Chain A
Amino acid sequence: MIRKVRTHPTQNEPLLFEISRPGKRAYQLPELDVPPVDPEAVLGPENVRPDLEGLPELSEVEVVRHFTRLSTHNYAVDHGLYPLGSCTMKYNPRLNEALAQLDGLAWPHPYQPEETVQGALEILARLEAALAEITGMDAVTLQPAAGAHGELTGLLMIRAALTERGNPRQKVLIPDSAHGTNPATATMAGYVAETVPSNAQGMVDLGALERQVDESVAALMLTTPNTLGVFEQNIRQIAEILHAKGAMLYMDGANMNALLGIARPGDFGVDAVHLNLHKTFSTPHGGGGPGAGPVAVKKHLEPYLPVPRLVKTEAGWKWDFHRPRSIGRVRAFYGNFLVAVRALAYIMAMGPEGLRQATLDAILNARYLRQKLEPYYELPHKAPTMHEFVLSDARQATNGVRTMDIAKRLLDYGFYAYTVSFPLIVRGAMMIEPTETESKQELDLFVEAMRAIAEEAQRDPELVRTAPHTTRVGRVDEVTAARRPILRWTPDLPRE
């Protein structure tokens, strides 16, 4: 029985451009207190556009209603369990949002003199220090805007260090279970991505790794726990194999929510690691961003960190731009400051015990779901898992019900879907990460939904294959969207 959702209550909503009527306005500007300027006279007629044709014209109420209605067409963490594996969809504390809106934090300009932004610099410095302690690393940059951006920053630092040693090398090794960002990053950093196979337990095959690592390898990019939720038991040996050949260990910290206060990358041989503040440290995902992807490094990579660096002087915090061995900037200014504000507030609210407890709770929740779901779904890798785990659709596939179908049916039961068809090493993968946020009641509702879907897949596979049935729109035709892309609104498009 569907306990949470039956039908969607809201109406259809046209697009802004369809609601627009000439002459409506939602804006107010003060009376101009300086002489008006004729744009054609000061800019030259060739530089002035006559009109903003196409831009909408709405009243304030219409703007508010439009976006409020559209918002109700979304599922969100605040609605319930969001089991998207490797995305760590945990609760976003409201305190953090309130702090990020303080005028003193929202309005400083990045080029203000340092003495007028000491509070902002203090926040950045404290977050750097906290992340260094959490990861067991020596130095942290907060500049990267997202996880993939952190990966690029990390690989460029490794490239710079190896270049200084005489040879940047050609290859970056990446396990077959890795996120797609890893190989894409390797390419952007000028490396050839080479795959490392997993063994039967879903871990890096040490023998294969040993054969692959030679003087052409710059680094291994490793996610641990990996996308199966399995911690690399041989992580120390992996680091040793790399270091013996002068290569480095880059850790993708996307799954750091499994390790807070339990184990630190700096203690198991990692040279550089990025964190996702929007995963592990509770900052909101915002429908796709903004996030932040700080990178923590060991001492030997510190000289290559992006400029500028925060330094403490007698006059307070200063930015140090004179870093001759730095890779340079990876973005303008200093990073996603207001994301850093939220992450620091989270760390302060949790404290050391709280962070560790959150990790243990996240692992327990995942372990509980795994235990409860194993009777109904195939568990291809049996090794102990941490904050997430991967099931497969093998049993349901015999009735023609695939992982995507089960995911869509979950929407009918009032949950978001798990991560579908990933990692690629599991055919028909269903990757589930509940996070510490969820109570036993919510987890049991999810188990009940998954159990019911498994039963439906037996009894009435068509019901699952054609899901979702209770959402505002039915299954969306992605094939036509890709064959004949319509990527912007034009007046001739159909309205419904």
Chain B
Amino acid sequence: MYPQHYRFTKEHEWVYVEGDVAVIGITDYAQRELGDVVYVELPEVGQELTAGKVLGSVESVKAVSDVYSPVSGEVVEVNTALHQAPEKINQDPHGEAWLVKVRLRDPAELDRLMTASEYEAYIAQASQASGSSSE
């Protein structure tokens, strides 16, 4: 389910690296918790992101969820297709629905993030804590 070459945050973002560019999105778990996504707010190209700080937000009809940047660096591309089709986040959260691409400033930041198996264990625990079902 969760790609092996991705890294994950506790706030349910994912990141993987192509060359010196990090691709960032939100996890399948996050999109399921949120429900039907209706709007995505993304940063502008050229904006500097800091690891752990808000980069934008994802909205469902009745909830807004901030998205935190897993890594630091300059935004080189944003997925503007999501403005027209936010539902892609529900359909393909780990692929087509990436949010931003960032020129990685400090690759060591990746080491602090969870691997796929660590993340799977983390969300298994989270689901138990919050009850059986999701809204």
Asked whether the complex places CB atoms of A and B closer than 8 A, the reply is: yes
Interface on A for B, CB 8 Å cutoff?
394, 397-398, 400, 402, 421, 427-428, 478-479, 482-483
> Contacts A402-B133, A479-B38, A482-B39 given; 8 further ones with Cβ under 8 A?
A397-B132, A397-B133, A402-B135, A427-B130, A427-B131, A479-B36, A479-B61, A483-B87
Q: How large is the interface on B (under 10, 10 to 19, 20 to 34, 35 or more residues)?
A: 10 to 19
Residues on B with beta carbons closer than 8 Å to the beta carbon of A483: 38-39, 86-87
Q: List 8 A-B contacts (CB under 8 A).
A: A398-B133, A400-B133, A421-B62, A478-B61, A479-B38, A482-B61, A483-B38, A483-B86
Complex interface: chain B residues within 8 A of A400 (CB): 133
Smallest Cβ distance from A428 to chain B, in angstroms?
7
Whether A428 touches B38, Cβ cut-off 8 Å, given contacts A478-B61, A483-B86, is no
Contact A482–B133 (Cβ < 8 Å): no
Q: How far, in angstroms, from A386 to B132 measured CA to CA in the complex?
A: 31
**Which residues from chain A contact B86 at a C-beta distance below 8 Å?**
483
How many pairs of residues, A versus B, come closer than 8 Å at their CB atoms?
26
In the complex, what distance in Å separates the CA atom of A400 from the CA atom of B135? 10
Bound-state CA distance A195–B86 (Å) is 31
Of the listed residues A394, A402, A421, A482, the one surrounded by the most CB atoms of chain B closer than 10 A to its CB is A482
Cα–Cα, bound, A400→B38 (Å)? 23
Residues of B within 8 A of A398 (CB): 132-133
B residues 53-95 in Cβ contact with A at 8 Å? 59, 61-62, 86-87
The answer for the CA separation of A400 and B132 in the assembled complex, in Å, is 10
Q: Which residue of A lies closest to B59 (CB)?
A: A482
User: Which of B59, B86, B130, B133 neighbours the largest number of chain A CB atoms within 10 Å of its CB?
Assistant: B133
CB neighbours of B131 from chain A (8 A): 394, 397, 427
| A478 CA to B35 CA, complexed, in Å | 12
Nearest-Cβ distance from residue A176 to partner chain B, whole angstroms: 16
Within 8 A of A (CB), among B10-66: 36, 38-39, 59, 61-62
Cα separation A398 to B131 with both chains bound (whole Å):
10
**Distance in angstroms between the alpha carbons of A428 and B131 in the assembled complex:** 11
Residues in A with CB closer than 8 Å to B87 are: 483
Bound together, the chains give a CA A483 to CA B131 distance in angstroms of: 29
Residues of A within 8 A of B36 (CB): 479
Map CB proximity to A onto B102-122 as digits: 1 under 8 Å, 0 otherwise: 000000000000000000000
In angstroms, Cα B87 to Cα A428, docked, is 25
CA separation between A482 and B35, bound complex, in Å? 13
Q: How far is the CA of A427 from the CA of B129 in the complex (A)?
A: 12
Q: Report Cα–Cα, A421/B59, bound state, in Å.
A: 17
- Bound-complex Cα distance A479 to B90 (A): 12
Q: Note all chain A residues with C-beta closer than 8 A to B130.
A: 427
CA distance A24 to B11 in the complex (A): 59
> Which residues of chain B are within 8 angstroms of A397 by Cβ–Cβ distance?
131-133
Q: Could you tell me the distance in whole angstroms from the C-beta of A266 to the nearest C-beta in chain B? A: 37
B91: min CB distance to chain A, Å? 13
Complex Cα distance A428/B36, Å? Answer: 18
**In the complex, A478 Cα to B135 Cα: how many Å?**
15
Give the Cβ gap from B89 to chain A, nearest Cβ, in Å.
11
Q: Shortest beta-carbon distance, B33 to chain A, in Å?
A: 12
Q: Which residues of A contact B39 (CB under 8 A)?
A: 482-483
Q: Please name all residues of chain B whose beta carbon is closer than 8 Å to the beta carbon of A479 when the two chains form the complex.
A: 36, 38, 61
Chain A residue numbers with a CB within 8 Å of B135 are: 402, 421, 428
Chain B residues near A482 (CB, 8 Å)? 38-39, 59, 61
